[in-house]
Amino acid sequence: MYHPKIELFISQDEFDVYKMASEFAEKEIHPLASSIDKNEKIPKEVFNKLKEVGFMGVTTPEQYGGSGLNNVSLFLIQVAINRACAATGVTMSVHNSLVQGPINKFGSQFQKDKYLKILATGDEIGAYCLSEPTSGSDAGSLKTAAEKKNGVYILNGSKNFITNGNYADIFIIFARTIPDQSLGPKGISAFIVEKSYKGLSVGKNEKKLGIKGSSTTQIFLDSCEVPSENLLGVENEGFKIAMNTLDGGRIGIAAQAIGIALACLDESVKYSLQRTQFGKPIADHQAIKWKVADMATEIEAAFLMGIRAAKLKDMGVAHTKEASMAKLFASSIVNKHCTEAVQIHGGAGYLKDFSVERYFRDAKITEIYEGTSEVQHLVIARSILNIK
């Protein structure tokens, strides 16, 4: 396995976490990745293994049952898990970054005590519900409504493409508390909603191109009653929570892309050294050497961009641009590398018997979810041009 020399850019503790996570993922997750893809489901034993090593609450403070690690460590763990299985990686990433992250940062003491403890231990799984059938990239135009009556919020609407939908017990749901659609992002609030609440239902698992083991569903809200104490943060200011949370989520998707790219490089090196053509291993041919060299170079660049974004997050410094840069670059290069990995394998790369076929399918989503590549370009450009 190829490992970029990142130890000079992170602490010894962070490097030790990365080594441990890499060994764990290779031993416990990688052997199950093909069956997870085939069966389109992550078995309970995988969640139990992640719980045992503390990967279900990486950055959540120890007082709430988490591991209390920093965001660099979370990024490194996510790279390792995604290298073994991207479906498992994104399931863990959403649960950590998009659910526990905002509860820990914006939640009341009551919410932290009640929800972080069951999420960080992995006893219950979380999901993040922002996108809707008519609002994806334009999240500020969401239509799900929340009306306060007799001390509770009544939620009506639907959410689309929700990762962890059928695994989740706890949902962070964004809804419009001021009905005026012309206000856009203003008047949106965030809520912590339990699966057991009457009026919440989960749709069927979507049939996807890749990351098949992750659960992607619609969420339906039909007069779902949510206690007022489950309002996350301040009423009508939920969109700020959504965007702040996505910064961390985008670092997680960068980690996913890097993990898949590393897996492609591993398989490409292995195959090119074994496969012979014209009397010698194809690794001896210049065309293959150049492909491998480009893979390694761009992976290392993406790795360092991801570490930078995670470090800025740990420092409490604004990192929206850096998170978007990391996601944009990593998702771009992984799709290029997956294509090259299939090409290196030739006809074999088109067969399900070889892992690069799965990597090719898994990679595409990294350019789409948690902000498309087009959205990342806008975020980066607005920051540089100082346009709000």
CA 91 to chain centre: 7
The amino acid occupying position 128 is Y
Q: Provide the H-helix boundaries in 44-126.
A: 44-52, 71-84, 86-93, 101-106, 109-111, 117-120
Strand partners, 202: 219
Judge whether 211 and 94 are in contact, CB under 8 Å: no
DSSP strand pairing (200-202 vs 216-227): antiparallel
Residues 310, 74: Cα–Cα separation, whole Å: 8
H or E element at residue 133: none
CA separation for the pair 42, 148 (Å, rounded): 38
Q: Vertex 296, ends 208 and 95: CA angle to 5°?
A: 40
The pair phi, psi for residue 202, each rounded to 5°, is -115, 135
Task: Single out the catalytic residue among 298, 322, 367, 370.
Answer: 370
Query: What whole-number distance in Å separates Cα of residue 387 and Cα of residue 369?
Result: 24
Q: Which residues pair with 296 in a beta bridge?
A: none
Token couple for 254: 């960068």
Q: 3-state class of 173 per DSSP?
A: strand
Residue pointed to by tokens 């997050």 = 313
Give the β-pairing of 188-194 and 200-202.
unpaired
Whether 370 sits among the annotated catalytic residues: the reply is: yes
Read off the tokens for 14: 């962070």
Pairing of strands 145-149, 152-163: antiparallel
Cα distances (Å, whole numbers) of residue 180 to 86, 187, 231, 307, 317: 39, 8, 20, 41, 34
Instruction: Enumerate the active-site residues.
Output: 370
